[in-house]
Amino acid sequence: MMAGVIFVFSAAALLQFFISYCRSLIAASSKQVLSAEVKDVTGIHRIASGDDFQRVMQLLQLCPERPEDRNGVQAIGAYFSLLNFLRATIARIVPSLRAWTESERGQCAYFAAVALGRRISFSRDMLAQQMDA
Amino acid sequence: MLGPADYVLWFLTALLEGAVVLCALKRHTFRRYLALNMYMLGSLVVTILRFWIFSHYGFSSAQYLYFYYYSDALLTVGLYFALITLYSFVLGELQTGRHVRLAAIVLLAGTAFFSYQVIQQSSDRMLTRFVVEMSQNLYFVGLVLTYLLWGAILKLRETRAQIIQLVLSLGLYFSALAATYALRNLYPGLHLVWGHLPELIALSLPLAWAYTLWRIPVEARLAPSRLAVVSR
């Protein structure tokens, strides 16, 4: 009985901390402006849509990975899956939740586009270093 | 018998724990988050010692088992005090440091007493059972304290991004471990479900802290109300 109560409380807290942690990662990147080339490649100009996410993630996987980005990108990938699950289930009957999941999915896509911008400049730096060597 | 995945996890854990300390040193935040860094340094030493004992005595040896559980309990107490220092960051302006420290010690003693009450029926290896029980209970107490701290961050509109991310990652760590141990108590036979789960959860904390210390500048600010699941 006690273990059951602890499990339910811990799982609820885990979900809440996970959502807040992912939103803190997203908030840190939402102030960054996308470079012109990232805008061209992703088609995201000012506001990203959740539908852009998969495409941007595919582009991200084409670039060499930056170790310091891996944690954030994976966490946001998991958060995006959670949002998709909510969108396909509870959000169908709660309109306000649907609007919220759509907005959050868009923010995830913007986060991925910012990470793509960082990876592009990282690849460019690596290439420049190789050319110099 | 350990497989390649266990060795990889072991190596990664040591690497990430070391990375947290290096990131803190590189970004000149070692002294600022002294308790967190000392905890990570302690974890790194324990990870290395565990590997040394494992390679000398074997995974199923009494030496390894005893060292594992006793060091885990010490580290949990260390993390508990590291969490209390995060309280002093958030509540610093309220001049409540002494009260928080006193409450923390009383709560720790209460948890130890409760753990003793749970295991006092056991006839053999009482101290070891006590240590295991106390570790598990401290994970839950840590979770409750982190939850309260997160509430305080929202209430007091704490905006320092590093503090926010350190607290949230600690909340993730405590809640995931508390849920895993609760599940283990509910279904003791389901070893397949959590095979590497505690090790993976243990990886998440140094990973998140290294990321925070490396990527988030000390002066970065966030609006915590934007992060709450229920908007305020």
Q: Nearest residue of B to residue A20 by CA position?
A: B227
- Report residue B113 as tokens: 């007493």
> pTM value?
0.86
In degrees to the nearest 10, what's the CA dihedral of B77, B108, B228, A119? Answer: 0
State the complex-level ipTM: 0.85
Q: Do residues B37 and B24 lie in contact, with contact meaning Cβ atoms separated by under 8 Å?
A: yes
- Render pLDDT for B158-208 as a digit per residue (tens, 0 to 9): 889 999 999 999 999 999 999 988 888 888 877 655 667 888 888 999 999
Cβ of A78 under 8 Å from any chain B Cβ?
Answer: no
**pLDDT given at position B230:** 56
**pLDDT given at position B99:** 85
**Per-residue confidence band for A46, with pLDDT thresholds at 50, 70 and 90:** confident
Please determine, for residue B121, whether its predicted confidence score (pLDDT) is greater than 80. Answer: no
- Render pLDDT for B67-103 as a digit per residue (tens, 0 to 9): 999 999 999 999 999 999 999 889 887 777 788 888 9
What ranges in B159-225 are assigned the alpha helix state H? Answer: 161-186, 191-194, 197-215
Q: Which residues of B touch A (CB under 8 A)?
A: 140, 143, 146-147, 150, 161, 164-165, 168-169, 171-172, 175-176, 178-179, 181-183, 185-186, 207-208, 210-211, 214-216, 220, 222-223, 226-229
Question: Count of domains in chain A?
Answer: 1
A87 C-beta neighbours (distance < 10 Å), count: 18
Please determine, for residue A58, whether its predicted confidence score (pLDDT) is greater than 60. Answer: yes
**pLDDT given at position B229:** 66
Which fold does the domain B4-226 belong to in CATH? Answer: Rhopdopsin 7-helix transmembrane proteins (1.20.1070)
**Per-residue confidence band for B112, with pLDDT thresholds at 50, 70 and 90:** very high
Q: Do residues B203 and B16 lie in contact, with contact meaning Cβ atoms separated by under 8 Å?
A: yes
Q: What is the arithmetic mean of pLDDT over A88-113? A: 90
Mutate to test the interface with B, among A17, A100, A118 (most CBs of B within 10 A): A17
**Per-residue confidence band for A41, with pLDDT thresholds at 50, 70 and 90:** confident
Range of the domain at A118: 2-132
- Render pLDDT for A1-29 as a digit per residue (tens, 0 to 9): 788 999 999 999 999 999 999 999 898 78
- Render pLDDT for B146-158 as a digit per residue (tens, 0 to 9): 999 999 999 888 8
Cβ contact A3–B182 (<8 Å):
yes
